C-alpha cells in the first residue's frame, strides 16, 4: 500500500483542489480529508451515499450542579481561564472558556462540580465503491492530533486499496504531524508568495524529521516572479524535487463552484496537474515500503 | 462601537478589510487578535509606545520540599508533569497554566512561576491606535493574550476594529466576545462559502449581530453571496477582483492611503457598517 | 535488560507499530527471563501529552531500552532522564529486532520529531 499526503502549510494554496483532481485521475478507492477545522473535500467529491457518522469527544469539561452550589465562590477564585461566572443563584461554568483542567473540583467544599463529556465534532465515513473518511468540528471545538489520527484510523481499518490519498491540515502544528503518520510521500502545494515559501520551509523541516520524502509543486502561477526562483532555489538546496508549476486559471474556482472536476475540463491547469500526478506516482513507487 | 472582522477561510482578505476600514477612521483603534500571524502592523508600521510581555502561570517545583507523592502528575489533565527518580519534570508547551498542581500538592512544593507566552505592542500612527498581540512560536494557545487585549479596550468609547484569527477556533470565539458587531469577509468560491457557514454558525451561537463584505468579486456566480441572501446577512459592500489592489496589499501598503478611489470605496463600506451596526445595537440593546 | 516496543496488531499477527505515544499496545521483553508481556497503552486516547504519559508508563515498568521508529521530543527528554536508550527498528518484525538489539546491530534513534503535543 502507498499513501500520498498533500499538504500546503499556508491556507488557500489549492491543496484540496489538487487532492480532488488526483483522486479523480487515479480512480482512488480510499481517501481522507484531515483538514478537520474546515473540511472541504466532501464538497467536490459529491458522494452519493450518506456518511456513517460517529461523535468525537474532546477533553471533558466541568459543570456546577446549581441545585447544590453553596455560592462560596472558591471555584471562581481559582479558575485561571475566567470560565466561571457568578449569577443570582450561584456560579456557572462557561463551557467554551472551560479548558477542562479540573482545578475547580479541588476546591469545591461539597464536590458539586462534575465532569461532563464534551462533544467537539463528528467522524464521518462515506462507504460506497470508494471509502472516504473525514470529520467536522463544531464551531469553537478544538482541533487535535487525536481527531486526525482517528480520521486516518477509520480509513485504515476498512481500506484494502493499494493507493490512498490524504488531504492534510494547513499549518505545521500537531494535526499536520498526526496526518504524516504512515504517509509514504508528501506533496507540498505552495504558491508564489513570501508567506507561501516560509510555510513551505516549516512543513518541509517537519517531514524531514519524520523521514518522509517530500516533493513540491507551485500553484496559481500568474506571471514569472522572483519568488518562483526563490522557491526553486530553496528546493534545490534542500534536495527536494520541484515537480511542476500549475498556472493560475480563472476557470478552476468557477468549475469547482459548478461542481465540475478540473479533469473533465480543458483548462490550462489540467495539463500541469496530470504531469505532476505522473511524476508523483513515479516517485512514490520508487520509495521503498515503510 | 467595537467591530470584529472575521473570515472562515484563510486568504479571503480579512486583514485587507480590517486595515483599510481602520485607515479611513481617524481616532479609531485597530486590535490585531490574529496572534499567530499578526500582519496588521506590517501595513500600519506604527511607532510603538510600549511593549508588554504576557505571562501565564507555570509550576515552579521546589525539589527540596517535594515528597514524591505524584499527586500533581496524576491530577494534571494535560500530562504536563512526569516523574523520574522521584523528581518532577514540567513540560512548558503542554502546560495549560491552570494552577491545579499547586493546589493539590500536599507539601506546598509547587509555587507560581511565570512563563512568557507572547507580547502586546501598543502604538500609534496617523491618530490611529494600533494594538497588536504576538504569540511566541511553539505556544499552542494565545487566548490569554487575546483576553488581555480585550481588557485594554473594554471601556473605550472609540471605534474599535478587531482583526480576528481565521476559522472558528476558541481563539476566534474569545476575539468576538467584546464585539458589538461582526463583519464577515468572504470570497466567491464554494470553499469560501462553506467556511463562511462555519464561522456564521459560531457568530449565531455567540448571539452577535453580523454583516458581510464580499471580496474578490468577478462576473461569475458567488456562492458566498447566495449564502448571505439565504441567511439574511446584510451585505455591506462588494470589492471587485482587482490586481492593483492585490499588488498594493502584497507590498504591505494601506490601499486607502495610497489611492483616493480605494479611500472612497472603504469609506462607503464603513458608513454602511456604522449605520447597520447602530441600528442593530439600538434594536437589540442587550446584545 | 527490559526492552519495550510499540506493537501493531494486524491480520498477519503482531509487528512494530509506527508511533510511540499513540500505539495501542507495548510489548515488554525481559532478556533475563526471556518472557514477553503485552500491555495496553493507556496514553493512546489522550487528547494531549500522550508521548509524555506513554514514556511515564515505560519508565514506571523500569524498561532499559525502547525500540521504535519515531518518538516525540518530550518523551525523549523524559526517557533520557530515566536512562532509557532509544533505538530505531530495522523492519517491523518484533523478535528479529530484539535479536538485532542484543547483537548490537541497531542504530540509536537520534532524529527526534518535535512531538505531537496538544492542541486546543
Interface chains of chain C (3 or more CB pairs under 8 Å): A, B
pLDDT at residue B171 in the model = 85
CATH classification at residue A70: 3.30.70.20
Taking residues C46-62, what's their average pLDDT?
A: 92
Query: How many beta carbons lie within 10 A of that of residue A205, not counting itself?
Result: 13
Q: Please tell me the distance from the alpha carbon of residue B209 to that of residue B286, in angstroms, as a whole number.
A: 11
Question: Please, which pLDDT band fits residue A261 given cuts at 50, 70 and 90?
Answer: confident
CATH code of the domain containing B78 = 3.30.70.20
C-alpha cell at position B56: 501565564
Contacts of B95 (CB under 8 A, 6+ apart): B58, B59, B78, B80, B115
Tell me if chain C has a CB within 8 Å of the CB of B94.
yes
Nearest to C86, CA basis, from C56, C106, C105: C106
Checking if the pLDDT of A113 tops 50, the result is yes
Q: Distance (Å, rounded) from C-alpha A267 to C-alpha C37?
A: 59
- CA separation for the pair C1, B68 (Å, rounded): 26
| For range B92-113, the mean pLDDT | 93
Question: Is residue C113 assigned to a domain?
Answer: no
Point out the residue among A173, A181, A209 whose CB comes nearest to the CB of C119.
A173
Residue pair B18/B12 in contact by the 8 Å Cβ criterion: no
Q: Which helix (H) or strand (E) holds B245?
A: helix B243-250
C85 beta partners: C65
Provide the grid cell at A175.
494535526
Q: CB-based contacts of B20: which residues, under 8 Å, 6+ apart?
A: B254, B255, B256, B262, B266
Do B37 and B101 belong to one domain?
Answer: no
**Does C46 contact chain B (CB < 8 Å)?**
yes
Residue B166 pLDDT: 81
How high is the pLDDT of residue C118? 38
- pTM equals 0.80
Does residue B282 carry a pLDDT above 70? no
- pLDDT tens-digit readout, B165-205: 887 778 888 899 999 999 999 999 888 899 899 899 999 98
CA nearest to B91 within chain C: C74
Q: What is the pLDDT of residue C80?
A: 94
Instruction: Give how many domains chain B has, as a whole number.
Output: 2
Handedness of CA B174, B175, B181, B182 (dihedral sign): negative
Full residue range of the structural domain in which residue A42 is found:
2-57+120-286
Structural domain boundaries, residue B232: 2-54+120-283
Q: In chain B, whose CA is at the least distance from the CA of A104?
A: B100
pLDDT band at residue B284 using 50, 70 and 90 as cut-offs: low
- Percentage of chain A exceeding pLDDT 70: 96
Distance (Å, rounded) from C-alpha B33 to C-alpha B142?
9
- The tens digit of pLDDT for each residue in A10-19 reads 777 889 999 9
Domain co-membership, B160 together with B232: yes
Are A80 and A125 within one domain? no
- The pLDDT > 70 percentage for chain B reads 97
DSSP B216: E
pLDDT in tens, A64-107: 999 999 999 999 999 999 899 998 878 999 988 898 999 999 99
Neighbouring CB atoms inside 10 A of A128's CB total 9
Name residues whose C-beta falls within 8 Å of residue A111's C-beta, 6 or more positions apart in sequence.
A105
User: What percent of chain A stands above pLDDT 90?
Assistant: 53
Kindly indicate the confidence band of residue C113, based on its pLDDT and cuts at 50, 70 and 90. Answer: low
From chain B, the residues in CB contact with C52 under 8 A are: 79-80, 82, 91, 94
User: What are the distances in angstroms from CA A252 to CA A21, A248, B9, C51?
Assistant: 11, 8, 17, 42
Q: Do B84 and C82 touch (CB under 8 A)?
A: yes
- Radius of gyration (Cα) for chain C, nearest Å? 13
At residue A137 the predicted structure's pLDDT band, cuts being 50, 70 and 90, is confident
C 71-110 residues with CB below 8 A of B? Answer: 74, 77-78, 81-82
Stretch B93-121: mean pLDDT, rounded? 94
> Worst-scoring range by mean pLDDT, A160-164, B21-25, B102-106?
A160-164
Residue A266, pLDDT > 80, answer: yes
Angstrom distance (rounded) from CA B279 to CA B204? 18
Same-domain pairing of A135 and A188? yes
- Pair (A195, A279) in one structural domain: yes
**Interior angle at CA A43, CA A42 and CA A44, nearest 5:** 90
Domain holding C76, by residue range, is 2-108
**Model confidence pLDDT, tens digit, residues B215-268:** 999 877 899 999 999 999 999 999 998 888 988 887 789 999 999 999 999 999
Does residue C6 lie within any of the structural domains?
yes
Task: Measure the CA–CA gap between B250 and A35, rounded to whole angstroms.
Answer: 26
Q: Which of residues 33-72 of B touch C (CB under 8 A)?
A: none
Beta strand A90-93 with A84-87 is antiparallel
| Residues of chain A contacting residue B220, judged by C-beta atoms under 8 Å apart | 254, 257
> Using an 8 Å Cβ cutoff, are C31 and C3 in contact?
yes
Looking at residue A142, what is its pLDDT? 67
pLDDT value at residue A136: 86
Rg (CA), chain A: 23
Residue B157 sits in the same domain as residue B247 = yes
* Predicted-complex ipTM score: 0.85
How many domains is chain A partitioned into structurally? Answer: 2
Domain shared by B146 and B213, yes or no: yes
| Cell numbers standing for residue B7 | 473570515
Residue A176: how many CB atoms within 10 A of its CB?
A: 26
Q: Are residues A89 and A133 in the same domain?
A: no
pLDDT score for A212: 85
What is the pLDDT, as a whole number, of residue B94?
Answer: 85
Give yes or no: residues A199 and A231 share one domain.
yes
CATH number of the domain encompassing residue B43: 3.40.50.300
Amino acid at each position: 500500500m502507498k499513501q500520498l499526503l498533500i499538504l500546503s502549510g499556508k491556507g488557500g494554496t489549492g491543496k484540496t483542489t489538487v487532492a480532488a483532481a488526483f483522486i479523480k485521475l487515479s480512480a482512488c478507492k480510499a481517501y481522507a480529508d484531515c483538514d478537520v477545522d474546515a473540511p472541504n473535500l466532501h464538497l467536490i467529491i459529491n458522494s452519493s451515499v450518506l456518511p456513517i457518522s460517529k461523535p468525537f469527544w474532546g477533553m471533558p469539561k466541568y459543570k456546577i450542579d446549581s441545585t447544590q452550589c453553596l455560592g462560596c465562590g472558591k471555584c471562581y477564585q481559582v479558575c485561571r481561564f475566567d470560565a466561571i461566572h457568578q449569577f443570582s443563584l450561584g456560579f456557572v461554568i462557561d463551557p467554551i472558556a472551560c479548558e477542562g483542567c479540573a482545578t475547580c473540583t479541588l476546591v469545591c467544599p461539597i464536590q458539586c462540580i462534575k465532569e461532563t463529556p464534551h462533544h467537539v465534532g463528528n467522524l464521518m465515513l462515506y462507504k460506497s465503491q470508494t471509502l472516504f473518511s473525514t470529520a467536522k468540528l463544531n464551531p469553537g471545538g478544538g482541533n487535535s492530533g487525536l481527531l486526525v489520527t482517528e480520521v486516518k484510523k477509520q480509513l485504515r481499518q476498512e481500506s484494502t486499496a493499494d493507493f490512498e490519498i490524504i488531504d492534510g491540515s494547513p499549518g505545521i502544528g500537531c494535526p499536520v504531524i498526526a496526518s504524516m503518520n504512515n504517509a509514504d510521500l508528501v506533496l507540498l502545494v505552495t504558491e508564489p508568495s513570501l508567506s507561501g515559501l516560509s510555510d513551505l520551509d516549516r512543513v518541509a523541516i517537519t517531514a524531514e524529521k519524520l523521514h518522509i520524502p517530500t516533493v513540491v509543486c507551485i500553484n496559481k502561477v500568474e506571471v514569472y516572479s522572483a519568488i518562483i526562483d526563490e522557491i526553486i532555489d530553496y528546493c534545490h538546496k534542500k534536495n527536494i524535487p520541484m515537480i511542476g508549476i500549475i498556472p493560475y486559471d480563472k476557470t478552476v474556482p468557477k468549475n469547482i463552484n459548478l461542481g465540475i472536476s478540473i479533469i473533465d475540463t480543458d483548462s490550462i491547469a489540467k495539463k500541469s496537474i496530470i504531469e505532476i500526478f505522473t511524476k508523483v506516482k513515479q516517485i512514490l513507487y520508487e520509495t521503498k515500503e515503510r | 462601537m467595537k467591530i470584529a472582522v472575521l473570515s472562515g477561510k484563510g486568504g479571503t482578505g480579512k486583514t485587507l478589510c480590517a486595515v483599510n476600514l481602520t485607515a479611513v477612521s481617524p481616532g479609531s483603534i485597530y486590535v490585531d487578535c490574529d496572534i499567530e500571524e499578526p500582519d496588521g502592523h506590517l501595513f500600519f508600521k506604527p511607532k510603538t509606545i510600549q511593549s508588554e510581555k504576557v505571562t501565564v502561570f507555570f509550576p515552579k517545583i521546589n525539589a527540596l520540599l517535594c515528597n514524591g507523592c505524584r499527586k500533581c502528575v496524576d491530577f494534571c489533565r494535560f500530562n504536563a508533569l512526569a516523574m523520574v527518580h522521584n523528581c518532577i519534570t514540567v513540560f512548558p508547551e503542554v502546560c495549560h497554566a491552570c494552577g491545579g498542581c499547586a493546589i493539590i500538592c500536599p507539601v506546598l512544593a509547587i509555587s507560581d512561576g511565570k512563563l512568557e507566552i507572547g507580547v502586546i505592542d501598543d502604538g500609534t500612527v496617523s491618530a490611529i491606535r494600533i494594538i497588536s498581540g504576538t504569540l511566541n512560536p511553539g505556544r499552542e494557545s494565545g487566548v490569554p493574550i487575546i483576553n488581555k487585549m480585550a481588557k485594554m479596550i473594554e471601556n473605550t468609547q472609540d471605534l474599535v476594529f478587531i482583526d480576528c484569527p481565521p476559522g472558528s477556533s476558541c481563539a476566534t470565539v474569545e476575539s468576538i466576545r467584546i464585539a458589538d458587531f461582526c463583519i464577515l469577509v468572504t470570497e466567491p468560491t464554494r470553499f469560501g462559502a462553506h467556511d463562511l457557514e462555519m464561522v456564521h454558525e459560531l457568530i449565531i451561537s455567540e448571539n452577535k449581530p453580523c454583516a458581510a463584505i464580499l471580496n474578490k468579486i468577478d462576473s461569475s456566480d458567488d456562492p458566498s453571496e447566495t449564502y448571505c441572501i439565504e441567511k439574511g446577512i446584510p451585505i455591506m459592500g462588494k470589492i471587485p477582483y482587482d490586481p492593483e489592489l492585490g499588488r498594493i496589499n502584497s507590498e504591505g501598503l494601506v490601499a486607502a492611503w495610497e489611492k483616493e478611489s480605494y479611500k472612497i470605496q472603504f469609506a462607503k463600506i464603513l458608513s454602511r457598517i456604522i449605520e447597520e451596526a447602530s441600528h442593530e445595537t439600538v434594536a437589540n440593546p442587550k446584545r | 535488560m527490559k526492552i519495550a516496543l510499540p506493537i501493531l496488531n494486524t491480520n498477519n499477527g503482531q509487528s512494530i507499530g509506527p508511533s510511540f505515544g499513540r500505539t495501542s499496545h507495548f510489548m515488554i521483553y525481559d532478556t533475563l527471563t526471556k518472557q514477553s508481556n503485552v500491555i495496553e497503552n493507556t496514553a493512546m486516547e489522550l487528547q494531549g501529552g500522550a508521548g509524555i504519559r506513554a514514556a511515564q508508563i515505560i519508565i514506571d515498568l523500569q524498561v532499559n531500552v525502547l525500540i521504535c521508529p519515531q518518538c516525540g521530543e518530550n518523551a525523549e527528554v523524559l526517557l533520557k532522564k530515566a536512562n532509557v536508550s532509544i533505538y530505531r527498528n530495522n523492519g517491523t518484525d518484533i523478535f528479529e529486532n530484539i535479536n538485532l538489539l542484543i547483537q548490537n546491530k541497531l542504530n540509536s534513534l537520534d532524529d527526534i520529531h518535535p512531538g505531537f503535543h496538544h492542541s486546543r
